[in-house]
């Protein structure tokens, strides 16, 4: 085999085919999720972990958008909250079966995000971020003002059915079982995103992120893939919102507030968005740090802020990104030895 | 094809830039298979003209035709589908993707993908796995050109492809362009500051000055043109 042929073959290593290791990691992640409630005896810790996993899913959605489209959303709570409100309102008015309401609660924000994406992804950088903030706050304002529909600031309890897909509703309300469900879904979401980024579509969106103009000049329409990426990230956020609504059985305008979008962004920054699981790691750190600092002082946000500053300065790729770089360096050093 | 003798044609093209016209009622018509040089001093409107022809900049007034068909309303991606490709004055590649990955992405939009052929022609075969940002500048320039050559375009607009290259690399590129244009029957419109490259490979040359066509002719005619010598080439010509 000539050197040229070998290099071309090497370049094809990054093909969409998934390695055995990817499948093994997925199985391992699922096994950890199923095993953890047996190891962690404290319900409080499991509750915290469940919240962290739900927050992690929202952050994974935000991180995916940064990774694939190269833009930052300050308004992803919109899709999280719209999903929660959709489920709540559909069940409250008893217009559909709970299972169908779940599907709609995912479909509505995803489709809305896609249609909105067709407009806002044309706007670059900070302007895009500001638009997402505006959209998010518009939803929040609507939830606050539309008293007749949303019960305004007070929110409302979601009348959950007794069973869901044949399972008792307690499955989604007890931390022992809800943690397993959320963790498994998070693992599947990250795996699904991994498959997506390795697919021709994923490679194209990376190319567009790198150089949109060049992508157009090699024959691609760039708005559609960017809007689709935005919709995928919104879908992940919506799934997180749905889990939140099921777990808490309550929805209020807080789930649409910009501060939730900001928290998700902080999680993505702490964990790093280069790796798909980075934001999830950031979420776990965020929630435990919040809990730890919250027990010590009411000024816990200052400690989160300090963590963000430290991570941004010392680890621009985030904690997961830095760990990956370190692992890569060790691997290379091991290869040379 | 509509039977037009011209592969690419601009009629009365006008494009303002700031407070003046970067391109002002320019007529240009390049017959099929010709390599046309586009030269002129800085600010003459060469890059703007390429931008207007390629769809990077909108036509303010005038018409752009490809094979006789009006393509003025088409976006860059539609023009690419019609068989027009371009390279850029500043290297315009995908820095984080490998050489092979980006050529594969470009090939997905081509009717006849020819990644291996282009890599071979441009000496990129050994660099397939390399990340574009890690390869040498000259190789990045070749990659920029390679992205344009995927799918064997019928019309190739090149904006200073030899910019920043050594004399040896520039002449190598010129030979390659001449060769490819003949073998692949590509019509080329070439903006270039390196006069050695332009005069060695172009069939005809159009000279722009202050957004207008100053002269047009064979390389010999341009060399002898008093207007051109005065305005641009100087005594060195």
Stated as kind and residue range, the H or E segment containing A213 is helix A212-217
By the 8 A CB rule, do B231 and B214 touch?
Answer: yes
| Domain boundary assignment for chain A | 40-336
Number of H helices, E strands in chain B: 9, 10
Say which residues have a Cβ less than 8 Å from residue B203's Cβ, sequence separation at least 6: B34, B35, B36, B218
Nearest CB among B56, B81, B130 relative to A219 is that of B81
User: Which residues make Cβ contacts (< 8 Å) with residue B70, sequence separation at least 6?
Assistant: B63, B64
**Per-residue model confidence as pLDDT tens digits over A263-292:** 999 999 999 999 999 999 999 999 989 988
pLDDT of residue A7: 38
Is the CB of A216 inside 8 Å of chain B's CB atoms? yes
Residue in A10, A206, A217 nearest the CB of B86: A217
Return the domain boundaries, chain B: 35-46+74-232
Is a pLDDT exceeding 50 seen at residue A5? Answer: no
Chain B contact present for A93, CB below 8 A? no
- How many beta carbons lie within 10 A of that of residue A104, not counting itself? 17
Cα A57 to Cα A233: distance, rounded to the nearest angstrom: 10
pLDDT in tens, A246-265: 999 999 999 999 999 999 99
Q: Which residue has the tokens 């004055």?
A: B89
Helices (H) and strands (E) in chain A, counts: 15, 4
pLDDT tier at A337 (50, 70, 90 boundaries)? Answer: low
Element (H, E) at B197: helix B195-201
B86 touches A: beta carbon within 8 Å: yes
Cβ pair B145, B122 in contact under 8 A: yes
Q: Is A315 on the interface with B (CB under 8 A)?
A: no
Mean residue pLDDT of chain A comes to 90
CA distance A125 to chain B (A): 18
A4 and B125: CB-CB below 8 Å? yes
pLDDT of residue A238: 98
Q: Does the B35-46+74-232 domain belong in CATH 3.40.50.300?
A: yes
Q: Which residue of B lies nearest to A223 if distances are taken between CA atoms? A: B77
Q: Are B98 and A11 an interchain contact pair (Cβ–Cβ within 8 Å)?
A: yes
Contact list, A210 vs chain B (CB under 8 Å): 94-97
Residue B123 is predicted with a pLDDT of: 92
Cross-chain Cβ contact B95/A206 below 8 Å: no
Phi (first) and psi of residue B215, to 5 degrees: -160, 160
Residues of B with Cβ-Cβ distance to A206 under 8 angstroms:
94, 96-97
Chain B positions touching A328 (Cβ under 8 A) are: none
The ipTM estimated for the assembled molecules is: 0.88
Residues of B in contact with A207 (CB under 8 A): 94, 97, 101-102, 105
Looking at CA atoms only, how far is residue B235 from chain A in angstroms?
39
Q: Cβ B101–A14 below 8 Å, yes or no?
A: yes
Measure in Å the smallest separation between the Cα of A331 and chain B Cα atoms: 19
pLDDT digits (tens, 9 = 90+) for B100-158: 999 999 999 998 889 999 999 999 999 999 999 999 999 999 999 999 999 999 999 99
- Residues of chain B predicted below pLDDT 50: 236-237
> Taking CA atoms, what residue in A is nearest to B129?
A11
User: Model pTM?
Assistant: 0.87
- 1.10.3470, 3.30.70, 3.40.50, 2.60.40: which CATH number matches A40-336? 1.10.3470
pLDDT value of position B60: 86
Scan residues 107-126 of B and list those with Cβ closer than 8 Å to A: 108-110, 116, 119-120, 125-126
């Amino acid at each position: 085999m000539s050197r040229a042929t070998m290099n071309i073959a090497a370049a094809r290593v990054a093909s969409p085919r998934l390695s055995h290791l990817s499948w093994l990691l997925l199985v391992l992640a699922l096994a950890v999720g199923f095993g953890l409630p047996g190891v962690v005896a404290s319900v409080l810790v499991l509750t915290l972990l469940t919240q962290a996993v739900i927050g992690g899913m929202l952050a994974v959605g935000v991180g995916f958008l940064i990774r694939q489209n190269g833009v930052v959303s300050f308004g992803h709570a919109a899709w999280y909250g719209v999903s929660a409100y959709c489920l709540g309102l559909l069940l409250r008015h008893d217009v559909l079966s709970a299972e169908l309401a779940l599907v709609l609660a995912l479909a509505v924000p995803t489709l809305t995000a896609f249609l909105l994406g067709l407009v806002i992804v044309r706007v670059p950088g900070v302007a895009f971020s500001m638009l997402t903030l505006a959209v998010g706050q518009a939803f929040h304002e609507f939830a606050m003002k539309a008293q007749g529909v949303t019960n305004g600031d007070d929110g409302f309890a979601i009348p959950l059915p007794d069973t869901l897909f044949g399972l008792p509703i307690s499955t989604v309300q007890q931390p022992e079982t809800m943690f397993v469900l959320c963790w498994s879904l998070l693992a599947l979401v990250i795996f699904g995103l991994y498959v997506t980024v390795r697919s021709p579509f994923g490679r194209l969106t990376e190319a567009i992120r790198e150089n949109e103009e060049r992508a157009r000049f090699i024959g691609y329409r760039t708005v559609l893939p960017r809007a689709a990426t935005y919709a995928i990230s919104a879908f992940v956020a919506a799934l997180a919102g749905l889990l939140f609504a099921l777990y808490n059985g309550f929805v209020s305008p807080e789930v649409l507030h910009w501060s939730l979008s900001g928290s998700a962004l902080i999680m993505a920054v702490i964990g790093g968005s280069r790796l798909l699981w980075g934001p999830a790691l950031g979420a776990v750190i965020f929630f435990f740090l919040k809990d730890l600092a919250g027990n010590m002082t009411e000024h816990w946000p200052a400690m989160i802020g300090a963590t963000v500053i430290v991570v941004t300065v010392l680890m621009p790729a985030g904690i997961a990104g830095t760990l990956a770089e370190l692992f890569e360096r060790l691997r290379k050093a091991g290869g040379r030895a | 094809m509509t039977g037009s003798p011209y592969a690419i044609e601009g009629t009365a093209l006008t494009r303002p830039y700031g407070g003046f016209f970067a391109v002002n009622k320019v007529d240009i018509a390049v017959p099929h298979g010709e390599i046309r040089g586009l030269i002129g001093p800085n600010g003459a409107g060469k890059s703007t003209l390429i931008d207007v022809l390629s769809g990077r900049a909108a036509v303010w007034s005038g018409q752009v035709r490809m094979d006789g068909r009006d393509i003025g309303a088409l976006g860059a991606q539609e023009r690419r589908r019609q068989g027009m490709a371009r390279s850029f004055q500043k290297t315009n590649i995908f820095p984080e993707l490998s050489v092979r990955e980006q050529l594969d992405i470009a090939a997905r939009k081509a009717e006849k993908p020819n990644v291996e052929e282009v890599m071979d022609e441009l000496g990129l075969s050994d660099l397939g796995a390399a990340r574009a940002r890690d390869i040498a500048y000259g190789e990045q320039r070749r990659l920029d050109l390679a992205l344009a050559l995927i799918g064997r375009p019928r019309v190739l607009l090149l904006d200073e492809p030899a910019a920043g290259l050594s004399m040896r690399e520039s002449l190598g590129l010129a030979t390659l362009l001449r060769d490819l244009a003949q073998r692949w029957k590509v019509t080329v419109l070439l903006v270039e500051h390196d006069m050695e490259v332009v005069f060695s490979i172009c069939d005809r040359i159009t000279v722009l000055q202050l957004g207008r066509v100053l002269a047009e002719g064979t390389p010999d005619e341009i060399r002898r043109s008093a207007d051109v010598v005065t305005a641009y080439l100087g005594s060195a010509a």
